[in-house]
């Protein structure tokens, strides 16, 4: 059964280009529907501006969507009261892209990781202290470093701190928004491995938002491709990568750099004329949806 289900999600922004022009409406997220199962990694890919980050943030109500439903264990998060939402957030957490700006530089690692526990009034002081040590070990850091500040850590270590904070309340669903794209290549693999290990250990479900398709192919069981605010194709990752149907997916996949000088991809350029923007998503093979 689906752990999180997004139904017809819409987020509109009003945009004003100049003093005299009339405001126009931009649909950053336009009728997006998908479901993430318990314990699975679901990839959300697309170019910048395609609406993937906005979708993720709407799901946690970090920004309020315009319409639609986000069902978490069958309950609509969008109709929750403040208190219900506070409780729900224990179960749904986020890891941000930039480990430099997403950790408060004035707080120690201990305070950063403990903060969610304090806000949610979990445990006594000593229980919380034990939990912080447990979490920091879980993400592969040394508890001896707990009283240091974020600037004393490398990018990869900071991202581990961000993961520890997200895990503090023992969630079952984590939105990982480009969690490794700010990291060096040799460090990316470490953090990706950590996320995969934690998933095995804690039965986490991830919504993995990324633009690096190689990474998505590596870790996501299913993937949805977003283009201009819509999901244009969705399916099992292996099927989607080997048998893309939508013109945008084809162009996107053909642009993935191949680390082999003798086996370079033939790029398929994107021609907007090939895209039928009104085509609904339809199931072209079991579990494989495309708007063609």
Question: Exposure pattern of 42-65 as b/e (b: 16+ CB <10 Å)?
Answer: bbbbbeeebbbbbbbbbbbbeeeb
> For residues 214 and 282, which CB has a smaller minimum distance to another protein in the complex?
214
Positive/negative CA dihedral, 221, 166, 179, 177: positive
Residue placing its CB nearer to another protein in the complex, 119 or 238: 238
Question: Residues 143, 95: contact at Cβ < 8 Å?
Answer: no
Cβ nearer to another protein, comparing 111 with 190: 190
| Interface of this chain with another protein, residues 160 to 199, rule: CB under 8 A | 184-190, 192-193, 196-197
For another protein, the binding residue among 4, 70, 112, 219 (CB under 8 A) is 219
Of the pair 104, 154, the CB lying nearest another protein is at 154
In whole angstroms, the minimum distance from the beta carbon of 74 to another protein comes to 29
Inter-residue contact 139 to 167 (CB < 8 Å): yes
Neighbours of 22 (CB within 10 A): 7
Task: Please work out the total of residues on this chain that contact another protein, with binding judged by CB under 8 A.
Answer: 39
Chain-centre distance for alpha carbon 271 = 28
Least Å distance, CB 267 to another protein, is 6
Nearer to another protein, 60 or 205 (CB): 205
Q: What pairing do the DSSP bridges indicate for beta strands 288-290 and 230-236?
A: antiparallel
Binding site for another protein (CB under 8 A): 47-48, 154, 156-157, 184-190, 192-193, 196-197, 211-215, 217-219, 237-238, 251-252, 255-262, 264, 267, 270
């Amino acid at each position: 059964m689906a752990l999180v289900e997004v139904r017809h999600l819409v987020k509109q922004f009003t945009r004003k280009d100049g003093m005299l022009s009339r405001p126009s409406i931009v649909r950053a997220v336009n009728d997006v529907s998908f479901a993430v199962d318990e314990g699975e990694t679901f990839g959300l890919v697309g170019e910048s501006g395609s609406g993937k980050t906005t979708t993720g943030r709407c799901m946690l109500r970090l920004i309020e969507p315009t319409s639609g439903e986000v069902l978490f264990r069958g309950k609509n998060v969008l109709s929750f009261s403040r208190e219900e939402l506070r409780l729900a957030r224990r179960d749904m957490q986020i890891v941000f892209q930039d480990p430099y700006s997403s950790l408060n530089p004035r707080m120690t690692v201990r305070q950063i990781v403990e903060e969610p526990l304090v806000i949610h009034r979990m445990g006594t002081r000593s229980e919380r202290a034990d939990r912080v040590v447990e979490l920091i070990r879980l993400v592969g850091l040394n508890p001896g470093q707990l009283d240091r500040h974020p600037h004393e850590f490398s990018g990869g270590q900071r991202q581990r701190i961000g993961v520890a904070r997200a895990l503090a309340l023992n969630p079952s669903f984590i939105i990982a928004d480009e969690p490794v794209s700010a990291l060096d290549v040799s460090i990316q693999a470490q953090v990706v491995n950590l996320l995969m290990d934690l998933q095995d250990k804690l039965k986490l479900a991830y919504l993995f938002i990324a633009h690096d398709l190689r990474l998505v192919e590596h870790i996501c069981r299913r993937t949805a491709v977003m283009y201009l605010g819509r999901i244009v194709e969705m399916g099992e990752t292996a099927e989607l990568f080997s048998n893309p149907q939508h013109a945008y997916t084809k162009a996107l996949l053909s642009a993935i750099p191949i680390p082999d000088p003798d086996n370079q991809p033939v790029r398929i350029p994107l021609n907007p004329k090939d895209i039928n923007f009104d085509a609904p998503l339809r199931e072209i093979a079991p579990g494989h949806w495309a708007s063609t």
